Amino acid sequence: MLDSNISKPLVARSTPTIGKIPVSDIETEHVLAILKPIWKTKTETATRVRTRLEAVLSYAEAHNWRSGGNPARWRGHLSVILPSPQKLKELKHHSALSYGELPSFMSILSNTDGMGARALELTILTATRTKESLGARWEEFDLNNRVWTIPKERMKAGVEHRVPLSDQAMKVATKMADQKMSDYVFPNRASGKPMSNAGMSSVLKRLERTDITVHGFRSTFRDYVAEKTNTPGRTAEAALAHKLKDASEAAYQRGDLIEKREILMQTWANYCYQTTAKVIQMPTAKTIS
């Protein structure tokens, strides 16, 4: 904001940090004093604030109200002082539970009531994305053959994805089927439409685990598979519905490896619930090839 009533315009008059400082005197330390308190916790807001500060200061410099460079400039200036917003976004988005903590977490989750808890439980067991689980419709489930087929229209990669259901995943799906109230597996009780993203996130808040995210459980799954099994990478990537990065390999890999993934997902489910009384014994990880 520029004050036309004084000889030197001011920046952000309503902002306590620099509200009374002449625009010519704004330095990097002032910009950082504004940005640092919110840079990691409210990254998107902080990024917008920085952009606006840069624009105002550039305007001031163009009108010869200040000189010496723009202290709010990102490239080559603040970029070497503050962590990249994109990296912070990725870190926050994928905050994941370590697989070592997973069995105890699943024990608590399985004893937590509510549709959100069941949605989270199935999401973890199937290593699916949040939207894939929340948008799940009963017509996609073949409980007799223990397969959940997610249509390509709902998949990030635009390719149909078959998910083999482990014994534990079947238990969750069957429980939801017994109390079916909508075409959706996890509906909003009031509207009958899919549960919102907050449905599963609120479960994490109830369990006082705001340090992790729902999406992060896909990373937990991938870390477990990589570090505790001998599962080939392409089988693990197929379980996550990831496209193969190698174009030539992708051209020849037409199948979805579902038989191998049946073993993998049951092995994963057994690990998730290893603290329970009954653990289904499956072939060792070495048999998944």
User: Between 3.30.70, 1.10.10, 1.10.3210, 1.10.150, what CATH number should domain 23-92 receive?
Assistant: 1.10.150
**In this predicted structure, what is the pLDDT of residue 245?**
60
Say yes or no: do domains 23-92 and 102-287 share a fold. no
Assess whether pLDDT exceeds 50 at residue 251: no
Give the pLDDT band (50/70/90) at residue 150.
Answer: very high
**In this predicted structure, what is the pLDDT of residue 33?**
92
Q: What's the mean pLDDT in 66-88?
A: 89
**In this predicted structure, what is the pLDDT of residue 192?**
82
**In this predicted structure, what is the pLDDT of residue 52?**
94
- In CATH terms, is domain 102-287 a member of 1.10.443.10? yes
Assess whether pLDDT exceeds 80 at residue 140: yes
**In this predicted structure, what is the pLDDT of residue 177?**
96
Of 158, 99, 105, 109, the C-alpha closest to 132 is 158
**In this predicted structure, what is the pLDDT of residue 288?**
43
Assess whether pLDDT exceeds 60 at residue 285: no
CA-to-CA distance for 229 and 257, rounded, in angstroms?
17
Between 1-5, 210-214, 245-249, the lowest mean confidence (pLDDT) is in 1-5
Which amino acid, 124? I
Q: Decide which of 133 and 190 is more confident.
A: 133
**In this predicted structure, what is the pLDDT of residue 109?**
97
CA–CA distances in Å: residue 46 to residues 65, 83, 84, 120, 239: 25, 12, 12, 31, 37
Q: What's the mean pLDDT in 254-265?
A: 90
Tell me the pLDDT of the chain averaged across its residues. Answer: 86
Assess whether pLDDT exceeds 80 at residue 266: yes
Give the pLDDT band (50/70/90) at residue 243.
Answer: confident
Most confident of 4-13, 31-40, 88-97: 31-40
Residues pairing with 14 in the sheet: none
Percent of the chain surpassing pLDDT 70: 83
Domain locations in the chain? 23-92, 102-287
Q: What angle do CA 114, 191, 115 make, to 5 degrees?
A: 10
Q: What's the mean pLDDT in 231-236?
A: 92
**In this predicted structure, what is the pLDDT of residue 53?**
94
Q: Decide which of 11 and 108 is more confident.
A: 108
Q: Is 21 left (phi over 0), alpha (psi -120 to 50) or beta?
A: beta
Residues pairing with 22 in the sheet: 10
Element (H, E) at 236: helix 233-239
Q: Which residues contact 108 (CB under 8 A, 6 or more apart)?
A: 207
Instruction: List, for residues 154-210, the tens digit of each pLDDT value.
Output: 999 999 999 999 999 999 999 999 999 899 999 998 888 899 989 999 999 999 999
Q: What's the mean pLDDT in 34-63?
A: 92
Q: What's the mean pLDDT in 266-285?
A: 66
Q: Which two tokens stand for residue 107?
A: 């024990």
Q: Which two tokens stand for residue 179?
A: 């109390």
Give the pLDDT band (50/70/90) at residue 286.
Answer: very low
3-state helix, strand, coil in the chain (%, to 5): 50, 5, 45
Q: Which residues contact 99 (CB under 8 A, 6 or more apart)?
A: 220, 221, 223, 224, 227, 228, 271
